[in-house]
Chain A
């Protein structure tokens, strides 16, 4: 069952152009040129109940704008959005009780007070029953490993700890839908992993529908099976994450460690040379030819060690966008 339907969503912003320097500023005082920026052009997608969907795209692609429209913060210029039977920008209280949004770069907790106070405030705002509230906080604090930090002022917490608290606060009212905008941004690897583990477990247990944007491919690879990719406000891909690799080039990366310096002429016949630094080289090799190529290299070249990896997803996406840009 679809819990989120987005059809032909469009969002334009007006802004002013200012010419460089003081002269431009003076000119602006009298006449300003109004420009329209289409942050989101024509996006349609659906999300099933209990699904974790990745919203991918480079900076400025329109990910955050889309999430803001979905949570009712922004009015769209055109298009239809329906979430669990509600139209977000009508901002009905019943709708606000169904979802939560966590923005990695924005703070929702009271800075000067312990996080537990903000939790309690959310309990009051969303009118959560006492017993249920205690149970939720206890359980989530255990899972997120923040039990001992409940009474520490938010401003004294580390970035990772604060993020865990933000997520906990957003779940006090047990929303059916959760929007996460860059929840792991700026965190160390361990904290990122902890948050990922938590989100996966929470999704499995509660069947909460999650839309996630992130810069870290690990987040997305570990959590989501389906991805929607937008670029320059347009939808460029909607499908299984697993198929994405095939779509964007069926190659593998072969990293070689030579016993002495490798030369480009030696490597070129086996595949595209991506990097070459002394005895270390990275080759891009078509997947079907991988086995043969690897054994041929090992038998002919002075190579002592090699590893095979996938092309990183973010690189593939960037590649795909470049194709997009060149065809436009």
Chain B
């Protein structure tokens, strides 16, 4: 068997080993959703909030329901592991084997995500069905397919973003605390809590130039009908662009970092 397929399968096993942990984290997503739903209900009930935010009531509720799911789904979580590997010398075990570290981590990450993906997609499907039935969301098969494609790309993109962040450990000894801050900031800028473009066009344009919104906001806006097909197409291209860029950055950082690691030791 291909070693990376093996790593992938072990990732699935590991994820199943920690299923309770995952369900709890899923349950913890319920409360913010409820709070935000109340908030939006209030805002949209008392003023013409749609004119300000650019989202209809139905779009914003669908967004709230799905964004936390997507955000959980693309979330990394391996950065502490990489940090420990680099700081405490766990990296050694990869260096002495004929495997590529990045590929190894990538397939282990995908493997761990797969069972979560299955469950999250079920929950998301339920939420979408609810939205179609009660909120009047219009949905087409093409939109669902586009959403799934963007979701996969978002997952890959977020992997590479966090991979690069994690590799900072080569130069900074203790970045573990930083990871907490970075992931909170990234969840917000990627639109994991509310869409970032509700603050006006200027900010929306700026956010569009950054890679982060393509991990959460973009796929969610495909399904809630906020984006035209043109925008979907260019968004997918942007995702691919950022994946290539962060992939290359990660590759360079790994090479440089490893040289440093081999010089100073783990």
Contact = CB atoms under 8 A, between A and B. Distances in A.
Contacts of B259: 75
Contact of A72 (B7, B95, B264): B95
Interface in B1-26: 1-3, 5-7, 10, 13-14, 17-18
A121 B96 contact: no
Contact of B14 (A72, A99, A113, A122): A113
A93 B89 contact: no
Interface string B229-266: 00000000000000000000000000000010011111
B32 interface: no
Interface in B70-129: 89-90, 92-93, 95-99
A113 B10 contact: yes
A108 B85 CA distance: 11
Contacts of B96: 71-73, 96, 99-101
B1 A96 contact: no
B98 A108 contact: no
Contact of A97 (B6, B7, B14, B98): B98
For the residues of A in contact with B, the DSSP-based class is mixed
A124 B17 CA distance: 22
Interface in A1-50: 13-14
Given A96-B98, A124-B3, A73 B13 contact: no
Interface string B198-229: 00000000000000000000000000000000
A112 B98 CA distance: 23
Contacts of B99: 125
> On chain B, which size bracket covers the interface?
20 to 34
A71 B236 CA distance: 44
A69 B266 CA distance: 12
Interface residues of A, number: 32
Contacts of A97: 98
Contact of A74 (B6, B13, B262): B262
Contact of B263 (A75, A99, A120, A126): A75
A112 B1 CA distance: 21
Given A110-B14, A113-B14, A124 B2 contact: yes
A100 B97 CA distance: 8
27 contacts: A13-B264, A65-B265, A68-B92, A68-B265, A71-B96, A72-B95, A73-B92, A73-B95, A74-B262, A74-B265, A75-B259, A93-B98, A96-B97, A96-B98, A100-B96, A101-B96, A103-B92, A106-B90, A106-B92, A108-B93, A110-B10, A110-B14, A120-B6, A121-B6, A121-B7, A125-B97, A153-B17
Given A73-B92, A75-B263, 5 more contacts: A14-B264, A65-B265, A73-B265, A112-B14, A112-B18
Interface of B: 1-3, 5-7, 10, 13-14, 17-18, 89-90, 92-93, 95-99, 259, 262-266
